[in-house]
A and B are shown apart, each in its own frame.
Chain A
Amino acid sequence: MAEAILQVRNLKKYFKTNSGMLHAVDDISFDVREGKTLGIVGESGCGKSTAGRTILRLLEHTSGQVIFDGVDITKLSGNKLRKVRKDMQIIFQDPFSSLDPKKTISQTISEPIRVNRILTDKKQVEERVLELMKTVGLAERLINSYPHELDGGRRQRIGIARALAVLPKLIVCDEPVSALDVSIQAQILNLLKELQNKMNLTYIFITHDLSVVNHFSDDIAVMYLGSIVEKAPAEELFNNPLHPYTRALLSAIPVPDLRHKRERISLKGEVVSPINLPDECRFANRCFECEARCRRGIPPLLEVSPDHFVACVHHTPPEAAGRAAGEALA
């Protein structure tokens, strides 16, 4: 088992809003193994993007630790932080808003090189830009094009090239393909996979698309309303989903295959806003297996089988349940 390059411990990110505290990320912990992909999956508003940005310190965290390469980066500032930033990059969801419309491809890709003084010579920078463009599969003739002249797939490639320019170790991919058409989506997914293999990159792959995350990730964490409700290796999660939410989610995926007719679990209601939540299981309101004990405190994320973690009272080992309930009561 590869070493954990990133350890997230009890990370919280709250936003102040007019109607109260918004618990965007509420006490999540996980490890990401070097050279592997952790998929974070969840519906809109579950806090998965916020989590990604908080890990990169694009947002300031409320509490918790983010240990990258053995260093708690939440405590860094100034030059040290800038150095760490080079090792951690992000690829955004919307290829339209993630590129500065006033900058050419060359300017966009060379910016990280110039800013971080990786290369200073003009010619070297240009060569490097061309190299990166080749790496992500962009034709050289596009070097002076503007984003608006390009389609979504190409733009996403620029975003990837920009992230690669600083030679990062970890890349947070925030829904990198959800804005793309199916055929382009596959191109980008393949590209990312290939880059991972060649450069030993570590990914945190954030998405709402379960089939994509299944295809792409080694481990998967399912988020619901700011918390991780289940986390397991991909294979395990899809074959043996434990949390009711995970099960419902999996059953809801429309599968383009006429041979597998599945039982659908229909969830009632919709996700509520994560503001001033009661101290109970986040999923209790919509859960088809909800019992009275679900309303007694937030169930902790516990390891129920090797590497399979779940936060549900129905799958809590008895001793752990007692502990959790005790904590809640105390």
Chain B
Amino acid sequence: MEKDLKKMPTPAASSTESASLSTTQARLVSKTFKKRSTWASVWRQLRKNKGAIAGLVLLIIIIGVALAAPIIFDYNTDIIQNNIRERRQPPSADHWFGTDEMGRDIFARVCYGARYSLAVGVVAVLFALVFGVTFGAAAGYIGGAFENIMMRLCDILSSIPSVLMAIAVVSALGKSTLNLMIAVGVASTAPFIRVARAAVLTVRNEEYIEAARAIAVPEWKIVVTHILPNSLSPIIVQATLRVGSAIISAAQLSFLGLGVPAPAPEWGSMLSAGRIFIRDHSYMTLFPGLAIMVTVLSLNLIGDGLRDALDPRLKS
């Protein structure tokens, strides 16, 4: 300590706030006045958005179904076991959504499929998020030649249509659920690089970053404690919206026969398998299709709601 702390003046007369607590009580102060996190205020904003709430409710139901599915249904007997005698039955009391061409109960499969579709969507986006945000944030923060190279790379990546990119990647890696996730992830990395970079660029020039530098916060710590948390909003919005499109992309790949391998009840594969029966047995595609639609819709509603809630433009 170079300076004596006691040099600090005691409360001045000019203080405009009444200091009501004595120093002995001070120890408790930070706990007495509960902090409300910024997420709480986002939640307050979000709560006003009925669409987002509807989306949230739907999504919670879908996640609930996904979590409950393995408890309610046995994978080996209810989900993948063939029952040829009961195939292609229309919806009934026994089979709420009917049965598919292998005689499997579509309701059970749709429920179970939520696990796959959500997992594919979420993992693919996580993949894109981790890579995109790392490189994008680094590009925005470091700048210079590195940024230049990253952005060129990003341009190149995004000039190849994402479906084709995903198909190429699946072909390269082989068909499996994990590879599907990676393929969809790779194809949606570029937007994350862009968003993260833009967010970091915006934040990087804020005065509080300079302030942190002025109080000698090490650079890495500035990135971790100041830049990243403040760049998160657009990234979170982007991620929410991308999960939806990742689910659609996965379904598209399944349609082209490059999706989750059978007999796993992924919605896209179900849609793809059922599409040949669409004329007479449309329930086979109707329910997985609706499931995809509702899930993507709910994610988009939430994403749009989050965007509105996080967007400073819409406040005040």
Tell me if B155 counts as interface (CB < 8 A to partner A): no
Q: Does A144 contact B (CB under 8 A)?
A: yes
Is B76 an interface position by the 8 A CB rule? no
A127 touches B230 (CB 8 A): no
> Interface residues of B toward A: which range?
35 or more
**Beyond A53-B210, A101-B38, A162-B211, is A86–B216 a contact (Cβ under 8 Å)?**
yes
Determine how close the nearest CB of chain A comes to the CB of B219; give it in whole angstroms: 11
The answer to whether the Cβ of B21 comes within 8 Å of any Cβ in the partner chain is yes
- Taking CB atoms, residues of chain B closer than 8 Å to A89 are 214-215
Interface residue ranges of A71-102 to B (CB < 8 Å): 81-82, 85-86, 88-90, 92-94, 97-102
User: What residues on B are CB-neighbors of A137 within 8 Å?
Assistant: 11-12, 14-17
- Residues in B with CB closer than 8 Å to A81 are 216
Sample of 9 more A-B contacts, CB < 8 Å, known A92-B211, A99-B208, A146-B36: A89-B214, A98-B210, A115-B218, A137-B12, A138-B17, A140-B33, A143-B33, A144-B35, A146-B41
Name which of B22-30, B55-63, B110-118, B250-258 contacts chain A.
B22-30
Known: A92-B211, A123-B27, A199-B8. A139 touches B38 (CB 8 A): no
Residue A111 CB within 8 A of the other chain: yes
Give B207 Cβ to nearest chain A Cβ, in Å: 4
CB-based contact A97/B208 at 8 Å: yes
With contacts A97-B206, A118-B1, A137-B15 taken as known, whether A58 is within 8 angstroms of B29 at the C-beta atoms is no
CB atoms of B8 and A135 under 8 A apart: yes
- Interface-forming stretch among A13-21, A190-198, A266-274? A190-198
Q: Hey, what's the 0/1 contact readout for A117-138 against B, CB within 8 Å counting as 1?
A: 0100001001110111011011
Report the minimum CB–CB distance from A146 to chain B (whole Å). 6
Q: In the bound complex, how far is the Cα of B20 from the Cα of A143, in angstroms?
A: 13
User: A194 and B214: CB pair below 8 A?
Assistant: no
Q: How far is the CB of A182 from chain B (nearest CB, A)?
A: 15
Say yes or no for A213: interface residue by CB 8 A criterion: no
> Which residues in window 27-59 of B have CB below 8 A to A?
27, 29-30, 32-36, 38, 41
Q: Is B229 an interface residue (CB 8 A)?
A: yes
Contacting residues, chain A, for B218 (C-beta < 8 A): 115
- Chain A residues whose CB sits within 8 angstroms of the CB of B33 once the complex forms: 140-145
Partner of A82, one of B206, B216, B225: B216
Enumerate chain B residues within 8 angstroms of A194, measured Cβ to Cβ: 12, 14
Looking at the assembled complex, report how far the CB atom of A237 sits from the nearest CB atom of chain B, in whole angstroms. 28
Collect the chain A residues with CB atoms within 8 Å of residue B20's CB. Answer: 139-141
Which residue of chain B is the closest to A165 with respect to CB atoms?
B215
A251 contacts the other chain (CB 8 A): no
A204 to B: closest C-beta gap in Å: 13
Whether, in the assembled complex, B226 has its beta carbon less than 8 Å from a beta carbon of chain A, the answer is yes
B17 touches A116 (CB 8 A): no
The reply to whether B35 and A115 contact each other, CB–CB distance below 8 Å, is no
**A22 CB–B CB distance under 8 Å:** no
A191 to B229 CA separation, bound complex (whole angstroms): 32
- Residue numbers in B under 8 Å from A90 (CB-CB): 210-211, 214
What is the CA–CA distance of A56 and B18 in the complex, to the nearest angstrom?
34
State A139–B32 Cα separation when bound (angstroms). Answer: 13
Q: How far is the CB of B181 from chain A (nearest CB, A)?
A: 31
Nearest A residue to B206 by beta-carbon distance? A97
User: Judging by beta carbons under 8 Å apart, are B215 and A190 in contact?
Assistant: no
Check A312 for interface membership: any CB of B closer than 8 A: no
**Contact between A159 and B215 (Cβ–Cβ < 8 Å)?**
no
Q: How many of chain A's residues touch chain B, expressed as a range?
A: 35 or more
**B216/A85 in contact, CB under 8 A:** yes
Q: In the assembled complex, which residues on chain A have CB atoms less than 8 Å from the CB atom of B85?
A: none
Knowing A58-B214, A82-B216, A139-B17, the reply to whether A167 touches B3 (Cβ < 8 A) is yes
Taking CB atoms, residues of chain A closer than 8 Å to B34 are: 144
A191/B14 in contact, CB under 8 A: yes
Give which listed residue, A58, A123, A140, A163, contacts B213 with CB less than 8 A. Answer: A58
Of B19, B207, B211, which contacts A134 at CB under 8 A?
B19
A145 to chain B, nearest CB (A): 8
B161 at the A/B interface (Cβ < 8 Å)?
no
Write out the residue numbers on chain A whose beta carbons fall within 8 Å of the beta carbon of B230.
100-102
Please report the C-alpha to C-alpha distance between residue A138 and residue B11 in the assembled complex, in whole angstroms. 10
Sampled A-B contacts (6; CB under 8 Å) = A90-B211, A115-B215, A135-B12, A142-B33, A146-B41, A167-B2
Given A144-B30, A190-B14, the answer on whether A58 and B215 have CB atoms closer than 8 Å is no
Is B217 positioned at the interface, with any CB of A under 8 Å from its CB?
A: yes
Tell me the bound Cα distance from A216 to B82 in angstroms.
87
How far, in Å, is A121 (CB) from chain B's closest CB? 12
Q: Is the CB of A126 within 8 A of B215?
A: no
For residue B212, CB closer than 8 A to chain A, the reply is: yes
Name B208's contact: one of A56, A98, A128 (CB within 8 Å): A98
Instruction: Assess whether A127 is in contact with B27, with CB atoms less than 8 Å apart.
Output: yes
Could you mark each residue 191-226 of chain B with 1 if its beta carbon is under 8 Å from any beta carbon of chain A, else 0?
000000000000000111011111111100100011
